[in-house]
């Protein structure tokens, strides 16, 4: 798989919104791209593509509330709250609209943003996205069980959720193969050693997942995404959220593009950053930003 050459990290900046610190990475100039990471992750999950994209675009990659260096309050961790928070960050940075790119949980947030604030969404890019079907990895389902906030610290203390041998054996039994997926999942779960991060993680997860799987499902309104350009990127080897979710979403979104990466897993932007950046660039350069027609949206929502 292609790897971008090492580049200097884009330093974190911060802004305070509603009294809470929001950390973000900001690079480049030009049309804006908002990169939204997944659960237990942070803005550095995009570090292999930020510099390349920043050559032609303004790239904003935040640490979601409850993640990374952003605040971790006891508060609302629903998709709607995250979407509003991302809208507020764009307002704070004086960015009127952007191409929304969301990975995993971030894909669900990007879809929620496009639904709540369509005038701010130029294009929608879903990367191994949540919110498109019931299936999700057993480990995430288990973390929503009652008492998980007591069990997870014990597993961490025993070394079973560290990014080393413990989680490698556990994830192997759950069907997640060695490589980028194992590395990224292990690194994410290791952050739960911080109690505030762990509590935010559980609140975030329980807002969209239950022991049976994902309970937030955007498929009943995906036809609305057809009003603007939509790109779906998925790794064929994804064992966290299966690739058929992407195929089914593509069938439901009129005019959408689907790119399946045969050698990639749940993190295609890390497995093959050069190809990922190329696909995203081509998508932006060959499409026009979506235009909001509220009368048409009303008719579509009402089934007219």
Q: Which residues are catalytic?
A: 104, 238, 266
Q: How far is CA 110 from CA 1, 67, 83, 146, 299, in A?
A: 27, 17, 7, 28, 23
Per-residue tokens: 106: 């971030």
Cβ(249)–Cβ(114) below 8 Å: no
6 backbone dihedrals φ, ψ, rounded to 5° = -55, 140
Give every CB contact of residue 32 below 8 A, 6+ residues apart in sequence.
Answer: 57, 58, 59, 60, 90, 95, 97, 98, 99, 122
With CA atoms as reference, report the closest residue to 50 among 238, 295, 276: 276
With CA atoms as reference, report the closest residue to 2 among 180, 132, 137: 180
Enumerate the β-bridge partners of residue 58: 32
Gap between the Cα atoms of 85 and 247, Å rounded:
29
Gap between the Cα atoms of 137 and 174, Å rounded:
8
DSSP labels, 143-188: TTSTTHHHHHHHHHHTTTTSTTHHHHHHHHHTTPPTTHHHHHHHHH
């Amino acid at each position: 798989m292609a790897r971008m050459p090492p580049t200097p990290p884009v330093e974190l900046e911060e802004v305070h919104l509603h009294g809470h610190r929001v950390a973000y990475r900001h690079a480049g100039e030009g049309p804006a791209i908002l990169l939204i990471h997944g659960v237990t992750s942070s803005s550095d999950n995009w570090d292999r593509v930020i510099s390349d994209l920043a050559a032609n675009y303004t790239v904003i990659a935040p640490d979601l509330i409850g993640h990374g260096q952003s605040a971790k309050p006891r508060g609302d961790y629903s998709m709607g709250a995250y979407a509003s928070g991302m809208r507020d960050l764009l307002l704070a940075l004086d960015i009127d609209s952007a191409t929304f790119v969301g990975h995993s949980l971030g894909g669900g947030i990007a879809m929620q943003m496009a639904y709540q604030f369509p005038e701010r969404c130029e294009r929608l890019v879903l990367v191994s996205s949540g919110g498109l079907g019931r299936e999700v990895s057993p480990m995430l389902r288990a973390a929503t069980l009652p008492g998980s906030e007591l069990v997870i610290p014990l597993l961490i203390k025993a070394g079973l959720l560290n990014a080393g041998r413990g989680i490698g054996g556990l994830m192997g039994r759950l069907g997640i193969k060695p490589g980028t997926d194992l590395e990224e999942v292990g690194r994410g779960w290791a952050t739960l050693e911080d109690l505030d991060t762990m509590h935010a993680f559980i609140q975030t997860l329980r807002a969209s997942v239950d022991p049976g799987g994902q309970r937030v499902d955007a498929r009943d309104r995906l036809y609305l995404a057809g009003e603007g350009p939509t790109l779906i990127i998925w790794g064929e080897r994804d064992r966290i959220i299966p690739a058929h979710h992407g195929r089914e979403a593509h069938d439901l979104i009129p005019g959408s593009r689907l790119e399946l990466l045969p050698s990639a897993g749940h993190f295609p932007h890390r497995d093959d950053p050069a190809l990922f950046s190329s696909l995203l660039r081509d998508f932006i350069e060959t499409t026009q930003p979506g235009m909001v027609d509220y009368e048409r949206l009303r008719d579509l929502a009402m089934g007219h």
